[in-house]
Structures are given as C-alpha cells and as structure tokens.
Amino acid sequence: MPAQKIITQWGILQPIHFVLGLLIMLTITLLLWQHYGMNLSLRFDPSNFTKISASDDRDTEGGKSIGLLTYTADYWRLDCQLNEGHRSPYCSIDLDLSNGSQGIDFSKYTQITIHYRYQDAREQVNLVMINFNPEYSVENDYRSQKFTEIYLPGAMGWSTHALSWRQFNVASWWIADKKIPPKWADNEFSNIREIRVATGLFPKKTNHQIDLAYIELNGKWISNNTLQLLLLLLWGGSAAFWLITELRRSMQALQRSNKQQQALKNAQERLKETNQLLTERSMRDPLTSAFNREGLNVLLASEPLNASLCIIFIDIDHFKKINDTHGHSTGDQVLCLLAQHIQQQIRPSEKLIRFGGEEFILLCQYSGLAQAELLAEKLRLWLFSQNWPSEITLSCSFGVAERQTGESFEAALHRADLALYRAKAGGRNRVEVAK
Ligand SMILES: Nc1nc2c(ncn2[C@@H]2O[C@H](COP(=O)(O)OP(=O)(O)OP(=O)(O)O)[C@@H](O)[C@H]2O)c(=O)[nH]1
C-alpha cells in the first residue's frame, strides 16, 4: 500500500482512538506486570537474620522442657527435650520481628513458605504468627498478643510448604484464655512481632529435633484487588472525562448552531422587510406616496372578481394654469398636499391611486353609487375649503362609477372618466355620476 494512502487512512483516527489504544495497552501492561513481576518478598534465613532464639515451657506453669538452638550456614536447629510439667509441653524457635513496639505488616504478602525438617514423621510442627494490637494486647504481657497458627506435618527429609493466610487459624486457647470477643477473633497479620516454629500438640516422644532453613514471605507491590480497583478507576475516570468533554463539545456545537440559525433567521427577516419595502415602494408614486399604476394592478389582482367596487375619478381643475402661474415646483407641492388631504379623509380600505399627471382614482368597496357619490362630494368640499400654497384657489372635478356585475375594471373606469368629462364640461368643481 502506498505511504500516502496509509497516512490518509490514519487521518480518520480521532484523539479518542489514541486514548483508547493507550488505555488498552496500559491495562494489558499492568496486568502482565502484576502477574509476572511486581514481586515483593521477605526472607528469614541464617545468612540474613540473627534475632532468633529458642524458648521452652520453663518458668511458666511448672514447665520442665529444655530447648536449645544452634545454627549452621544453611539452617537453624532446635534440639528439644519435652519433659512432664507444663500442661502442654513445648519448645520453639522464635524469630523476633519487633522494632521497638512495631512489628511487620504481613497482610501485604499473600503467601508464606517454610522450609524445614522434623526428624519424626509422626509429629507436627506448629507455625505461629504473633500479632500485637493495642485493642487486645498489652505491652509486657506476651500472651495478650494474638496467636494465629497452623500445624504442619513432620517429615524425615526436608519439606517445603507454601501457605496462604486463609489456612491459618486463631489459636482457640488464646480466645478462651483471654476471653476475646468475636470481632477480634479473626486472623490478623498487620503487626506481626514474632514468628514461632514450635513442637506440636500431643508429642509422642521426649527428644525432638527441628531444622528450619528459611521462612519466606511473598506478595505483590500491588495486590490483585488493588489493581482491579485501579483499572476500574482508570477506565471509569477516562469514560467520565470523555463523556463530559463530548457533552461540552455537543453543547458548544448546539449553541453555535443555534446562533447561526438565529443569525440566518434575522438575515431572512431583514431580507423580507427589505423585500416588502421595495415592493411597497415600487407600488407607490414617489411624489405623493399614493399608489401608482403598478400598485393599482396589484390591488386589482388581490381583489375578488365579483366584489362590489366604486371608482371615483378626481382631476384638478386648471392645473396647467397653476403650473404656468406659480411654477412647476408649486404644482408638485399642490399635488403632494392634495394626496395628503384626501388620505386624511378616507378609510384604510379606500385606496388612492395617482393615475396620471394631476389625475387620481379612489377605489372604494361599496355596493351602490350613493355612498361613493357622498364621499366624492365630501372630498370636493373638503379640498375646495383647504388653504393652498401661494393662496391658490383650488377645485377638483369628480366622476363616479360603480362596476357592474360582469363588467371589467377598464370599462367601469371608462364610464367614470366619461362622468368626469361631464363634470368638467358642466363647469368643473362638481361631482358627476356615471349612468
Ligand atoms: N407640477 C406638475 N405638473 C404636472 C405633473 N404632471 C402633469 N402636470 C401638468 O398638469 C397639467 C395638466 O393640464 P391639462 O391636461 O391641460 O389639464 P388642466 O390644466 O388641469 O385643465 P382641466 O383638466 O381641463 O381642468 C399639464 O400642464 C402638465 O404639465 C407633475 O407631476 N407635476
């Protein structure tokens, strides 16, 4: 595969893929490391440990047994003569682990291995962990410490036992003697001050010999449970972090999208308004603001065909003379004012259209000419009574027509125009109604 193509394919990977890959690799590495490495060990043998002694049952309860400890480079040897006297005669090898009042925390180790030799297969070796806990132990009272033990078989040759803490039991004599409540009657290895390797219960003979080569503790820096918890936290934490990041990213994207949508909506609104304004302007006469012919067409197009409609044609009398006498701009002013005066007098439903130079049309949705004629008359009087620039006396003539059923607008307009013509011919400043 060409290098370029491989690079392009890597490009589809996102940071989450790399993080996921890293987490998987970290998890596998930790699991393998914990399984094959992370070893924690502590060994007691004649080459590295000297705080060791023999003890026996003398000095307590009339004991007469005699224990003697010697050692070689490879092992410690306990020679023991068990004599009648103590209720349970014994000799032991004692490994003193205390450092001041502090012992060793054995609970971080998962396994204890003992390598020993007992010259008689019928006997048992008693391996005891002695734990100090101020909850039930008192300084200078040796037997107030917790005795947790296991009995191992004697063997003619060397034998090795690898033991877990679950195989140990708290000595029943200790619970009974010290009246220990159940909550303290469980195995405990957090502060071991002494390991004792002793002769077993019910010995069969008098002379015994126990050789102890070593005791070794093994464990892991990180226990299985701790590692599982650690991995759970690592994965859980990463997942939570990823979820929060994704959530925040989605929310930001949503906010951005909302903003863009809002901006688009605003732009659309503005465009619509501009469009409306332009349409409105294109329908209006710039001088008088009345509708123009384009506006008239739009108004008629939106009008139902058979709706009743009256047309009032309005024409200024002798407007040419006003222009000629007072100038074109005064004429413009008059046109403007005229439109304003008419707009003041009509309803919103009545529409004023500048039809040509000084000609205006008023569209009214009346049925019946009488009402339209009334309006035309009212307007005539109103306009005639207004003050005009340059003290002009201004009058208008009106032609009124009602669109008949089936009649076109143009035909009705023509009739209104004829009526207007009659008003002009009849002396101006008057209203004429189309026949
Ligand atoms: N100032 C101005 N004058 C205009 C405008 N449009 C048309 N006119 C003038 O309006 C006048 C119309 O004159 P005529 O058609 O003879 O009508 P009239 O003088 O009003 O006479 P009658 O209608 O018969 O009473 C012309 O002089 C046009 O130049 C405009 O926009 N502004």
* Interacting residues of 188 by C-beta distance below 8 A, sequence separation 6+: 131, 133, 146, 148, 170
Residue type at 90? Y
What 3 state SS string does 194-217 have? EEEEEECCCCCCCEEEEEEEEEEE
**Which of 192, 163, 162, 220 minimizes the C-alpha distance to 41?**
220
Residue of 289, 293, 320, 333 with the most ligand 1 atoms within 8 Å of its CB, for mutation: 320
CB 388 within 8 A of CB 394: yes
Q: What fold, for 42-220?
A: Jelly Rolls (2.60.120)
Q: Which residues of 161-200 are buried (b: 16+ CB within 10 A; e: fewer)?
A: beeebeebebbeebbeebebeeeeeeebbebbbbbbbbbb
CB 137 within 8 A of CB 144: yes
C-alpha 261/C-alpha 6 separation (Å) is 38
**Which of 213, 417, 170, 410 minimizes the C-alpha distance to 315?**
417
Alpha carbon nearest to ligand 1 atom 7, residue: 357
What is residue 406's predicted lDDT score, i.e. its pLDDT? 87
Going by DSSP bridges, is the β-strand pair 396-402/431-433 parallel, antiparallel, or unpaired? parallel
Alpha carbon nearest to ligand 1 atom 21, residue: 318
Q: Which residues of 357-380 are buried (b: 16+ CB within 10 A; e: fewer)?
A: ebebbbbbebeeeeebbebbeebb
Ligand 1 binding site (Cβ under 6 Å of any ligand atom): 315-321, 323, 328, 331-332, 335, 357-358, 424
Rounded to whole angstroms, what are the CA distances from 304 to 299, 300, 308, 409?
10, 8, 9, 12
Residues of the chain scoring pLDDT < 70: 1-10, 305-306, 367
Report angle CA 294, 295, 300 to the nearest 5 degrees: 100
Q: What are phi and psi of 389, to 5 degrees?
A: -60, 150
Strands (E), 82-165: 91-96, 109-118, 124-131, 146-153, 159-164
Going by DSSP bridges, is the β-strand pair 310-316/359-364 parallel, antiparallel, or unpaired? antiparallel
Alpha carbon nearest to ligand 1 atom 27, residue: 320
Q: What are phi and psi of 102, to 5 degrees?
A: -95, 135
Residue type at 318? H
Rounded to whole angstroms, what are the CA distances from 342 to 217, 223, 336, 383, 392?
113, 99, 10, 8, 18
222: number of Cβ within 10 Å? 17
What is residue 435's predicted lDDT score, i.e. its pLDDT? 78
The alpha carbon of 287 and the centre of ligand 1 are apart by a number of angstroms equal to 15
Q: What are phi and psi of 160, to 5 degrees?
A: -125, 135
The alpha carbon of 354 and the centre of ligand 1 are apart by a number of angstroms equal to 13
C-alpha 121/C-alpha 118 separation (Å) is 7
Alpha carbon nearest to ligand 1 atom 11, residue: 320
Q: Is 418 helix (H, G, I), strand (E, B) or coil?
A: helix
Q: Given the CA of residue 316, which atom of ligand 1 is nearest to it?
A: 20
The alpha carbon of 201 and the centre of ligand 1 are apart by a number of angstroms equal to 142
Region of 288 please: left (phi>0), alpha (psi -120 to 50) or beta: alpha
Residue type at 162? A
Q: What is the model's pTM? A: 0.54
C-alpha 138/C-alpha 411 separation (Å) is 127
What is the domain partition of the chain in residue ranges?
42-220, 293-433
What is residue 100's predicted lDDT score, i.e. its pLDDT? 84
Residue type at 35? H
What is residue 432's predicted lDDT score, i.e. its pLDDT? 98
Q: Given the CA of residue 428, which atom of ligand 1 is nearest to it?
A: 25
CA 160 to chain centre: 58
Alpha carbon nearest to ligand 1 atom 28, residue: 320
What is residue 368's predicted lDDT score, i.e. its pLDDT? 81
CB 218 within 8 A of CB 37: no
Given CATH 3.30.70.270, say whether it is the number of domain 293-433. Answer: yes
Alpha carbon nearest to ligand 1 atom 15, residue: 320
Q: Is 347 helix (H, G, I), strand (E, B) or coil?
A: coil
Q: What is the DSSP letter of 404?
A: P
| Residue 303: Cβ-neighbour burial (10 angstroms; 0-12, 13-18, 19+) | middle
The alpha carbon of 357 and the centre of ligand 1 are apart by a number of angstroms equal to 6
Alpha carbon nearest to ligand 1 atom 18, residue: 318
